[in-house]
Amino acid sequence: MYIALEEWDLVFDEIEVIRLQEMWKEGKGILEIAKELGRHQLEIAALIMD
């Protein structure tokens, strides 16, 4: 059996979502947002796509 994305933490609390939205509106990139939130860049990309 294979579980996709098992190694990623795709659960975000409301504060993280709000902070991501603020940084995205400020024009910050995925790498910068990921570093500031202490997340993998692909976790941030998944949230942006959602």
Listed by start position, the domains of the chain span: 14-49
Mean pLDDT by 10 residues, the chain (50 residues): 88 96 98 97 95
* pLDDT at residue 2, rounded to an integer: 86
* pLDDT at residue 11, rounded to an integer: 94
CATH code for the structural domain at 14-49: 1.10.10
pTM as predicted: 0.84
Q: 49, 50, 14, 19: which is closest to 34 by C-alpha?
A: 19
* pLDDT at residue 32, rounded to an integer: 98
